[in-house]
Amino acid sequence: MSTVKVINVAKDFSRYPAGRYKDDGPFTGEHFREDFLIPALNKYDKVVIELDGTRGYGSSFLEEAFGGLVRAGFDMELLKKKLHFSATDSSLVEEIEEYIEDAAKAHDCSPEP
């Protein structure tokens, strides 16, 4: 049986998500990725992110939280399969998907260590 985790950004994380790196504040994209997204992706088959309810998102937060998953080693296809979004503003979902794809492209182009 598949397991599902629902993360409501406003309720579970913050109504005021802001910033890219941990140095930028208490509710940044890096915090969200490391404290919520990665543990949920490692434990559950499907992760639903509810984006409504916050006071808006900056692209820096979105890119670091979701594009950063690819840089952290998650496969794009796996993310497409596992990550699901619920949002009134569908431009947010499109933007997140683009960040994941862009990060995957950059990851593929980067030289092997």
Partner 1 sequence: MSFIDNIVTWLLIIAGWWIVHALHEVRNFRSSLRQLAAEVRESASDLRKKAYNYHTASQHNDELSGDIKRDLQRLAALCRFLQPVYSEKEINQHIKNLRRAITSENFDSPINHRKLDVNDPVLTNIDVATDDLVFFVENAYFTIQASFPVRLILLTRNRRI
Interface with partner 1 by CB under 8 A: which residues?
16, 18-21, 23-25, 28, 55-61, 63, 88-91, 94-95, 98
Smallest separation (angstroms) from partner 1 to the CB of 80:
18
**Which CB sits closer to partner 1, 47 or 64?**
64
Non-local CB neighbours of 36 within 8 Å, separated by 6+ positions: 7, 12, 13
**Which CB sits closer to partner 1, 3 or 90?**
90
Smallest separation (angstroms) from partner 1 to the CB of 110:
20
Smallest separation (angstroms) from partner 1 to the CB of 1:
34
**Cα 31 from chain centroid?**
10
**Which CB sits closer to partner 1, 20 or 33?**
20
Report the Cα–Cα distance between both ends of the chain, in Å, rounded: 38
- Sign of the torsion angle spanned by Cα atoms 24, 56, 103, 35: positive
Q: Please name the helix (run of DSSP H) or strand (run of DSSP E) that holds residue 110, with its range, or none.
A: none
